Amino acid sequence: MAISSLLLKSYFPLICTKPSLNNKNNTHSNSSILHISLRTNPPHRATTRLSNTHRLSWQNELKNAFQQPPSNQNLIENYSIDQIDKIDDESFQKLVDKKCVDNVRMLIVDAVQNAKAGHPGMAMGMAEVGYYLYRHAMRYNPRNPKWFNRDRFVLSAGHGCLLQYVCLHLAGFESVQIEDLKNLCKLGSRTPGHPENTVTDGIEVTTGPLGQGVANAVGLALAEAHLAARFNKPDCELVDHRVYCIMGDGCAMEGISHEAASLAGHWKLNKLTLIYDDNCNTIDGPTSLTFSEDISARFRALGWNAITVDNIHDNMGSIEDALLSALNETRKPTFIRVKTLIGRLSKKEGTFKSHHGTFGEDDLEEMKRKLKWENQEPFHVIPMVYREMQIQSDQGQKLEREWFSKLDYYKSKYPHQEAAEFEVLLNGGLPSNWESCLPKWSMSDSVDATRGYSEKCLTELAKVLPGLIGGSADLASSNKVYLHDYQDFSVPHSPSGRNIRFGVREHAMAGISNGIALHGSGLIPFAATFLTFSDYMKNSIRLSALSHAGVLYIMTHDSIGLGEDGPTHQPVEQLAGLRAVPRLLVFRPADGNETAGAYKVAIRNREVPSVIALSRQKVAANLEGTSANEVERGGYIVSDNSGRNMPEIILIGTGTELCLCEGSAKMLREEGRKVRVVSLVCWRLFDRQPVEYKEQVFPQGVAKRIGVEAGSPLGWREYVGGEGLVIGVEEFGASGAYLDTFKKFGFTEENVTNVAKSLLEK
């Protein structure tokens, strides 16, 4: 039976709860193991009583499963399984939980066997943890997966996605039905080989490249802490949720996890819980081949509350104790090291061979025998498992209703700035007419670098966009991205601050920014560094595009024009590489007005990341003919003296080189030549324009074209055509004053003019 139809049926209450007398707020405890009011600090246990109906519905299933329970004596001390009706409620619930975990494992096995592909090892080893989080710990509503105040779950070890898919299915998420589990890894399915937030509701972030999810989780936790500080009131807490993240050995090895964990500890993000699947295996073999550090000591040194769970497979209550410790912690994030057996239950248990791939028939039969599953068809779900999981989802619906009541109260009590800003954020973060704040420049304005014009744009945008938040990788003064009217984000001093100090951690900065963008609260993150250091961030930038995370990447020092720092800092191939990333918008504005236009397009596209590449060297604030509004076309005609005739030659520039094209065009026009100058500020936007518009800008009848950009010429052939030329950089730059460096590589008005003349003479 599909879960959606089962959930529509009425059922008897499964648990009767008696509120604790010492806590008036305990009105929604729902588990006989983890009885926690997550809004209460500190958490506490409540007195619970399982209903007779609940016990009766499980008794036959449990008797069949645990007839010979030597390995389960700790679950049912002082009783035999035949006396199950006499077992106390807590022990009974432990048996229920264990049987639910068995079902989770068999669904994982069935999905891999059916698909003949997948990664079962981690999912099977962490089945207890995944089930426990979705059944007893997390607050969520499957009927509204985007409910604002839900807890967030991130699977940094994305290859273990089957664990999350199975839990989402059992919890009642429409996005993962039994048919979706059967379609694992198939083209177009809602259960791809690694979790994708744009494909499956209930997936918060896209993960797969190891360690990225850790940084995403830090970003999600930062967003919660920041918004809570800004909007919570003593009588009304609107923002109060936790972030749970599962990481693996590969995540622990990747540098991004260390960078992000360092920041989380420094920021004291106490509502972040990182659960480490310590199964001692990677693809190539045991971790002892490459990994011998004390990972718990590392996290303690980074400022985390570190806990070890040694016996999760025999005592699921051990994860409860660890989570209680995390909930009690008020000044540190929590790292829970869970020692597991990869591929738990199979003959490959505990070995790297279970990381990926299917199981042999003899192994499958043995697993079924161990769980008394021999008579079950593939993808069988015990009906009571659905009901068990529904307890948590029903509680989530109740919590959501209570939250919306709080929101109504908040709007009536604090109707002006706080409620108005919060409403804007909930609706995407863009107030009406926000674009009007962007500066406009005239020919008479003083010259500056485009990074300077960017600073003026950010200053004005921060005043009207309540969600604008971000910072730099220790280059705020060079990137010119510091929001001077706002504090630094710092816990506990100023968590409401909108300047984030990332330190020299470019990779984590980008991954954290993805988490902030995907928090779904209208926050608009920006991350800044030198363009050449975008290589440190590349994988996270790629995931921004894949995840539809609208991060603003502000990359200054965008060419060999930065000068003295030399080729180690002078980007050459970076623009070409970034332009190759699908969906990513790469802007290289030429002046103040194009910079404003780039921000307008980048911020308007909330599900598309953007790179704004900016200069260190100064250019005119407003080149004659440039337009902020035309930036949305990606390319447009800046000047043309051809009248109704075709130009003889087209000069195409981006960034600071556009002024070289204009200067050269002026020289050529003085000699009677018909010259068109085109700004190609964003290639991807131009490529999306109608054919008619592109023909209007680049007529096929004009074959003489020159592209001018102080970077790799890769990709320019599409715009200059077969007969055109490109003035670019095909080797590393050189240390020297920027004008000398430009001259060395041919970026002068005179050289552009000479190249144009030689082309015209052909």
451 in a known ligand binding site: yes
Active-site residue, from 174, 196, 506, 632: 506
640 in a known ligand binding site: no
279 in a known ligand binding site: yes
Angle of the 52-65 helix axis to the 383-413 helix axis, nearest 10: 140
Q: How far apart are CA 334 and CA 113, in angstroms?
A: 36
Q: Output phi, psi for 68, to 5 deg.
A: -125, 90
Given 3-state DSSP classes, what are the helix, strand and coil percentages for the chain, each rounded to the nearest 5? Answer: 45, 15, 45
687 in a known ligand binding site: no
357 in a known ligand binding site: no
Tell how far CA 731 is from the center of its chain: 35
557 in a known ligand binding site: yes
Q: Which two tokens mark 492?
A: 């506990």
249 in a known ligand binding site: yes
Label residue 642 exposed, middle or buried (CB < 10 Å: 0-12, 13-18, 19+): middle
Q: CA-CA-CA-CA torsion for 508, 510, 516, 519, nearest 10 degrees?
A: -100
Residue for token pair 């989770």: 104
Q: Which two tokens mark 34?
A: 């983890």
Residue pair 368/60 in contact (Cβ under 8 Å)? The answer is no
242 in a known ligand binding site: no
Distance set, CA 275 to CA 153, 246, 515, 561 (Å): 11, 5, 17, 46
Helix or strand (DSSP H, E) at 361: helix 361-370
- The β-bridge relationship of strands 610-613 and 552-556 is parallel
44 in a known ligand binding site: no
Q: Output phi, psi for 190, to 5 deg.
A: -90, 10
- The β-bridge relationship of strands 610-613 and 468-472 is unpaired
- Its sign, for the CA torsion 358, 359, 365, 368, is negative
Q: How far apart are CA 519 and CA 516, in angstroms?
A: 5
Q: Output phi, psi for 475, to 5 deg.
A: -135, 25
489 in a known ligand binding site: no
301 contact partners, CB below 8 Å, separation of at least 6 = none
Residue pair 67/54 in contact (Cβ under 8 Å)? The answer is no
Q: What is the DSSP string of 149-214?
A: T--EEEESSGGGHHHHHHHHHHHT-TT--HHHHHTTT-TT-SS-SS--TTTSTT--S---STTHHH
565 in a known ligand binding site: yes
416 in a known ligand binding site: no
Residue 276 pairs with which residues in a beta bridge? 247, 337
Strands annotated E in 575-695: 585-587, 610-613, 618-619, 636-640, 649-653, 675-679
Report cis status (omega within 30 of 0) of the bond before 492.
yes
Q: How far apart are CA 438 and CA 596, in angstroms?
A: 6
533 in a known ligand binding site: yes
Q: Which two tokens mark 73?
A: 């004596």
Quick check: is 723 catalytic? no
208 in a known ligand binding site: yes
Length of the chain: 762
Residue pair 105/78 in contact (Cβ under 8 Å)? The answer is no
Judged by DSSP in three states, 484 sits in coil
Among residues 753, 698, 699, which one has the least CA distance to residue 727?
Answer: 753
Q: What is the DSSP string of 241-285?
A: --EEEEE-HHHHHSHHHHHHHHHHHHHT-TTEEEEEEE-SEETTE
Cβ neighbour number for residue 298 with a 10 Å cutoff: 16
13 in a known ligand binding site: no
Q: What is the CA radius of gyration of the chain?
A: 30
Binding residues for Mg(2+) are 249, 279
Binding residues are 119, 159, 208-210, 249-250, 279, 355, 451, 478, 533, 557, 565, 569, 616
Binding residues for thiamine diphosphate are 159, 208-210, 250, 279, 355, 533
Please identify every residue annotated as catalytic: 506
Binding residues for substrate are 119, 355, 451, 478, 557, 565, 569, 616
